């Protein structure tokens, strides 16, 4: 067994519109996928409303606990965009107008269009560095281990693509999936035994209903390719021994 | 001003598969919408992995803080389905095999198919009452203010439909939306003034890009219909005064 380098993250989605159901969040799923690809383990996600105390408490709880925190939402020009000031309060630093952010906004807007409301988007907590916004100029920022990004998925994704190369991932979690035509309950006992034997792997069982057929996806995840292969073979043999048909989805870094 | 009866809730999504990005959560958005319709304000949502300490801590944090907690995921027959035992530990009560739940499983499965793994789905914390599962029999349960439901969306939704009539909602939050063809930054100052004047309402601003056009949705929410109408009219006048075209989406209980 080799040492595993584990890097962790949390996502904090900020916005009343998610909690009211008006907007369906798409950022959490995107970040979950991309972080996993980078070898960063998303360990928690939270959605909080546009309430300063809630945002501040969540930022402080998550940044103390995980290697990285990624926030989405609340960095536009209107009164309900309060993420930057809340992050400043969470870090106990003043909120400053960032000269480079002002310059980018000046370059983006037509003369006369850069009003005070839009200039608010240049406010960054002291010590923060900018995160590029190739879509609509107004930047996000990073302070400490917290990355503050836009809520609009297209902008958030572009911001994340920009910062991804700066993130230090740990050992990648490899994943293998065995699909079978057996019910979860049929395979549960044997699968539990395999999970106990390969306790350093994560073994998940997910029922599905596809193309008119019920089945179960058995997902094995871990950083040690050899152990993963051995456990996957054990699951395949288990399925066949129970009279099922096993399919193996191609290996990927999940 | 009349007193507003406020009833709050949190959603706790349990499962490694959401945090790895393998499965995109659909339960949070569904519950956000349905709870809002019932006059219950979703104040927080969290996603935690299949780790007992994380589940227990989240259940206890959320149930102390909100009127209702709704969990999804982790109540199937396999070793990674640990929600029931974690909720029992969170409440400090034993996990018991519930006779009525056993009866339902016996009625559902063919003779010989109800093995020990499937019987685990009849385990309920002491004092818990069952939540019907019209799809696949294995019930959820309620204990205290915590409602424990399946993770498969179709089953979760059927469970929620069953318990919805038992939930006591507060005053419904009414919502009006003014759409306009102005950028957020143009309308921000005037909108902020309206939000300050109608501080008991929530006034949100959401940029959109639809059918090739940028615009902003201005969403006003509150329980007092008269104040909501007055504020909506103020927003409409603001948009027109800034040279924009305002559209009014039909009133709904958001």
Sequential pLDDT tens for chain A (254 residues):
457 799 999 999 999 999 999 999 999 999 999 999 999 999 999 999 999 999 999 999 999 999 999 999 999 999 999 999 999 999 999 999 999 999 999 999 999 999 999 999 999 999 999 999 999 999 999 999 999 999 999 999 999 999 999 999 999 999 999 999 999 999 999 999 999 999 999 999 998 877 778 899 999 999 999 999 999 999 999 999 999 999 987 555 44
Check CB contact under 8 Å for A184 and B34: no
Residue A226 CB neighbour total at 10 angstroms: 8
Cα A124 from Cα A100, distance rounded (Å):
11
What distance, in Å, lies between the first and last C-alpha atoms of chain A?
21
pLDDT in tens, A132-181: 999 999 999 999 999 999 999 999 999 999 999 999 999 999 999 999 99
pTM: 0.94
Whether A50 contacts A75, CB under 8 Å: no
Cα A12 from Cα A146, distance rounded (Å):
10
Q: b/e per residue, A127-163, with b = 16+ CB within 10 A?
A: ebebbebeebbbbbbbbbebbbbbbbeebbbbbbebb
Tokens 């019910």 sit on residue: A183
B 138-157: CB under 8 A from A? 152, 154
Helix H or strand E encompassing A152:
none
Domain(s) labelled CATH 3.30.70.260 in chain A stretch across 174-253
Q: Is B172 on the interface with A (CB under 8 A)?
A: no
Rg, Å, chain B Cα set: 22
**What CATH number belongs to B174-253?**
3.30.70.260
Whether B10 contacts B60, CB under 8 Å: no
Q: Which class for B171: exposed (0-12), middle (13-18), buried (19 or more C-beta within 10 A)?
A: middle
Return the structure tokens found at A155.
Answer: 């902008």
Query: Which residues in chain B are contacts of A154 at CB distance < 8 A?
Result: 209
Fold type of domain B7-166? Molybdenum Cofactor Biosythetic Enzyme; Chain A (3.40.980)
Q: Is B210 on the interface with A (CB under 8 A)?
A: no
Q: Is B196 on the interface with A (CB under 8 A)?
A: yes
Helix H or strand E encompassing B181:
none
Largest CA distance in chain B: 74
Q: Which class for A33: exposed (0-12), middle (13-18), buried (19 or more C-beta within 10 A)?
A: middle
Domain(s) labelled CATH 3.40.980.10 in chain A stretch across 7-166
Coil, strand, or helix at residue B11?
strand
Cα B3 from Cα A76, distance rounded (Å):
32
pLDDT in tens, B127-178: 999 999 999 999 999 999 999 999 999 999 999 999 999 999 999 999 999 9
Helix H or strand E encompassing A112:
none
- How far does the CA of residue B129 sit from the closest CA of chain A (Å)? 23
What distance, in Å, lies between the first and last C-alpha atoms of chain B?
21
Return the structure tokens found at B180.
Answer: 């306009």
């Amino acid at each position: 067994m080799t040492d595993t380098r584990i890097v962790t993250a949390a996502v904090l989605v900020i916005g009343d519109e998610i909690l009211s159901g008006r907007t369906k969040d798409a950022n959490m799923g995107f970040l979950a996928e991309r972080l996993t690809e980078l070898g960063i383990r998303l360990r928690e996600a939270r959605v909080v409303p546009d309430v300063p105390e809630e945002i501040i408490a969540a930022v402080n709880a998550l940044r103390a606990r995980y290697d990285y925190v990624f926030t989405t939402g609340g960095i536009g020009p209107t009164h309900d965009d309060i993420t930057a000031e809340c992050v400043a309060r969470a870090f106990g630093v003043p909120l400053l107008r960032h000269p480079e952010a002002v310059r980018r906004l000046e370059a983006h807007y037509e003369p006369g269009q850069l009003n005070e409301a839009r200039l608010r988007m240049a406010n960054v907590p002291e010590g923060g560095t900018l995160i590029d916004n190739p879509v609509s100029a107004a930047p996000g920022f990073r302070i400490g281990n917290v990355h503050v990004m836009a809520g609009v998925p297209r902008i958030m994704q572009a911001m994340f693509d920009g910062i991804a190369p700066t993130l230090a991932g740990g050992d990648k979690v490899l994943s293998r999936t065995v699909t079978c035509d057996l019910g979860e309950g049929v395979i549960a006992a044997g699968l539990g035994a395999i999970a106990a034997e390969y306790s350093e792997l994560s073994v998940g069982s997910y029922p599905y209903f596809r193309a008119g057929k019920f089945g179960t996806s058995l997902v094995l995840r871990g950083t040690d390719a050899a152990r993963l292969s051995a456990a996957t073979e054990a699951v395949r043999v288990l399925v066949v021994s129970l009279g099922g048909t096993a399919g193996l989805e191609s290996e990927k870094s999940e």
